[in-house]
């Protein structure tokens, strides 16, 4: 049995990954992290997605992180504007100001800590056999059509997975290292949309825009990539009709 902790932001990618875990029959829980981001719309979407998928979703209050990782347009709105109107090639040519310093490192570590605690309660309480446990953190990272973030690459997750194995009790004592699964990391954005539809993922509940208005801005990198994804898949974006 895979016991999965999904990092759920409420966006297209993480929603697809959460639906993937449910479809695969994983024992699934989700985390939505309030890290001091520009708006709360994505947190509302994460909870709505979790309800639709029938999985528990814990919201983690980590607003202090935004104060520490302040060199970003997503955590320091006074100092940095969100870039708009950029072409995909331009997005991937540099690490943009929407990158939050070491955010995915922090997120995966938090998810792994929650996952390890969940499983240790069962193992050391006698309700789980270590041999029946396969811990995994699921992330919605994508390295094909992405915005140049260094923490969305396969080599980053391979290195972090080994760190978790070395540094966890599950890995060092019980030999059950915490895996990191990124099932859409090598898919194009249109492929992700098609896979999400195949899974029946609740895409109408998702939110990708970096801004928190009533409707997506349509011009930030995330909106541009999302629009291209649905256009490439040849289907309308159900979230636009809903919003």
| pTM (whole model) above 0.85 | yes
Q: Which fold has domain 2-242?
A: Rossmann fold (3.40.50)
Lowest mean pLDDT among 24-33, 57-66, 67-76, 145-154: 145-154
**Domain ranges for the chain:** 2-242
pLDDT at 243: 54
pLDDT in tens, 125-137: 999 999 999 999 9
pLDDT in tens, 57-114: 999 999 999 999 999 999 999 999 999 998 877 777 788 999 999 999 999 999 999 9
What does the angle CA 225 – CA 35 – CA 142 come to, to the nearest 5 degrees?
Answer: 30
């Amino acid at each position: 049995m895979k016991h999965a902790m999904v990092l759920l932001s409420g966006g297209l990618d993480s929603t697809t990954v959460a639906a993937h875990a449910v479809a695969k029959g994983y024992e699934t829980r989700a985390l939505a992290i309030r890290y001091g981001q520009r708006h709360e719309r994505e947190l509302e979407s994460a909870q709505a997605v979790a309800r639709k998928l029938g999985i528990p979703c814990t919201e983690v209050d980590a607003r202090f992180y935004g104060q520490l990782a302040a060199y970003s347009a997503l955590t320091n709105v006074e100092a940095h504007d969100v870039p708009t109107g950029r072409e995909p090639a331009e997005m991937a040519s540099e690490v943009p100001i929407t990158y939050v310093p070491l955010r995915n490192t922090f997120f995966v570590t938090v998810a792994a800590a929650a996952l390890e605690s969940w499983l240790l309660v069962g193992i050391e309480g006698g309700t789980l056999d270590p041999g029946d446990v396969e811990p995994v953190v699921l992330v919605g990272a994508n390295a094909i059509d992405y915005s140049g973030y260094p923490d969305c690459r396969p080599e980053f997750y391979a290195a972090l997975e080994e760190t978790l194995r070395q540094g966890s009790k599950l890995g060092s004592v019980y030999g059950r290292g915490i895996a990191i699964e990124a099932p859409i990391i090598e898919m194009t954005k249109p492929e992700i949309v098609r896979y999400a539809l195949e899974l029946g993922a609740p895409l109408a509940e998702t939110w990708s825009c970096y801004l928190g208005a009533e409707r997506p801005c349509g011009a930030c990198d995330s909106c541009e990539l999302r629009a291209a994804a649905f256009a490439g898949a040849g289907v309308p974006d159900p979230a636009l009709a809903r919003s």
